[in-house]
Amino acid sequence: MSAESTFGGASTLFPPIGTLEPGLVLDGFRLDERLHQGGMANLWRVTRVEPLAGEDFPLIMKVPRIKGGEDPATIVGFETEQMLMPALKGPHVPKFVARGDWTRQAYIVMERIGGASLRPRFDDAPLPLDEVVEIGIKVALALQDLHLQHVVHLDVKPSNIMFRPNGAAVLVDFGLSRHDHLPDLLEEEFSLPMGTGPYMSPEQVQFVRNDPRSDLFALGVMLYHLATGERPFGQPSSVRGLRRRLYVEPVPPRAIKPDLPPWFQEIVLHCLEVKAERRYQSAAQLALDLQQPELVPLTKRSEKLSGSGLLKRLKRWFFALGAEPAAQTSVAAQLARSPIIMAAIDVQHATPALLEKLCETVRRIVQAEPGARLACVSVMKTHRIGMDELTDKEGKSVHVKQLIALKAWARPISRALELGDGRLTFHVLEAPDAAAAILEFAAKSGTDHIVMGARRASTLRRYLGSVSAEVVTQSACTVTVVRDVARAI
């Protein structure tokens, strides 16, 4: 349905329902209480009159405000959300329940996420750095999950982020979003920047709506604001004001709040690069850096204490006049170019032959993925009960020794592929269960592919099970197992 037909017929579409008020039953849903009245939609707490098996969560109904005179883009945005929400799954989006036809009453019924949005926390900014980082990790993981479903949100902002009781971030309001496999009604019907001023990426200002890195720019804006108490690009209200971010760099966070560490500024300014190809290439890569800040490679971004000078601004302004962002084919295509590959290496017990085979396998896989990030992981097993020896007989740190061994294993790969710019990281995990530690790291980092070794089967291993078998059966991503045929254990 086009914006014109919907908007033009608004006066005749809704009379069968009449005024919405508490107690009204609409398509089997009873309106209990109006929770919010916004400029574009009203939110109602609703109850299904005849509950369905398995629907054991609270419901909310979103109803567009249609009285005539509205911006047609608002109406098309609601159509977009109605079309897109049934395709979304997982813990980082509300569960979709039902939608109403425009010919009678348009609405969306979905899971109600308890609690407030992230918006109130911005009133208290600047926040402690630990809290800012925790928020960033949770939102980045939510964005990665959304992007893997072929969706770019395109309106990531504090009021569109909520949290479940277990802490998982939930993204809401998909009226401006774009799905690879669904029609983009907004792009088809309008030729103007779509988004919320402070958070729009440079490519959104240039009418590009299919780049997942736009969401990472918005997250960078939020991290900047939460840490400094200020918005990096202000609150522009015109297209001219929006275009300033194409050539004016934000004031570095540490110039506003000097106690912020260099690695945090590196991460934030990496998110806020004008050109999308210079930002993080996936939300998973951003989440990984936030979780392991001590491994973030520092560049000139981390040292900056002032914004761009007049000459640089003029140069950027000149090039921005006719600049066109690089064409994107799809969300999936972008994510495919920037996977996270985990090499899970048992540096303590694997045979030299297996370590060599793993090195060659990982090298080939990373070489085939020019934008890949390699995370080398080793698990230092600890006792479930009691104290562990943290040093060896010579008094050297066991953790450090394992880290050194892991780096030595990866040295041929690094040299052969010239991995730099944060594309190679090392992680020694301390845990009693190696398989569980590998699976947890993969889930938290958004790993796309795990490569690990497995020694030749024996009666003992068949009885006790193996780390590789457990990872293969429980992992949500691709797992490549390299087998050691040299000897059994």
CATH number for position 477:
3.40.50.620
Q: Are residues 103 and 126 in the same domain?
A: no
pLDDT in tens, 314-363: 555 555 555 556 556 678 887 777 889 999 999 888 899 999 999 999 99
Count of structural domains, the chain: 3
Same domain, 298 and 411: no
In this prediction, residue 393 carries a pLDDT of 66
pLDDT in tens, 118-132: 999 999 999 999 999
**Lowest mean pLDDT, pick from 16-25, 66-75, 317-326, 433-442:** 317-326
pLDDT at 10 over 90: no
In this structure, the answer to whether residues 328 and 181 fall within a common structural domain is: yes
pLDDT tens-digit series, residues 263-320:
999 999 999 999 999 999 999 999 999 999 998 999 999 999 876 665 665 555 555 5
300 and 166 within one domain: yes
Query: Which pLDDT belongs to residue 185?
Result: 86
> Which residue, 279, 307, 335, sits at the end of a domain?
335
Residue ending a domain, choose from 335, 353, 379: 335
**Full residue range of the structural domain in which residue 447 is found:** 339-488
> Which of the pair, 5 or 217, is modelled with greater confidence?
217
Are residues 482 and 375 part of one domain? yes
In three-state form (DSSP H/G/I as H, E/B as E, the rest C), the secondary structure along the chain is: CCHHHHHHCHHHHCCCCCCCCCCCEECCEEEEEEEEECCCEEEEEEEECCCCCCCCCCEEEEEECCCCCCCHHHHHHHHHHHHHHHHCCCCCCCCEEEEECCCCCCEEEEECCCCCCCHHHHCCCCCCHHHHHHHHHHHHHHHHHHHHCCEECCCCCHHHEEECCCCCEEECCCCCCEECCCCCHHHHHCCCCCCCHHHCCHHHHCCCCCCCHHHHHHHHHHHHHHHHCCCCCCCCCCHHHHHHHHCCCCCCHHHHCCCCCHHHHHHHHHHCCCCHHHCCCCHHHHHHHHHCHHHCCCCHHHHCCCCCCHHHHHHHHHHHHCCCCCCCCCHHHHHHCCCEEEEECCCCCCCHHHHHHHHHHHHHHHHCCCCCEEEEEEEEECCCCCCCCCECCCCCEHHHHHHHHHHHHHHHHHHHHCCCCCCEEEEEEEECCHHHHHHHHHHHHCCCEEEEEEEECCHHHHHHCCHHHHHHHHCCCEEEEEEEEEEEC
Give yes or no: residues 325 and 344 share one domain. Answer: no
| Same domain? 298 vs 344 | no
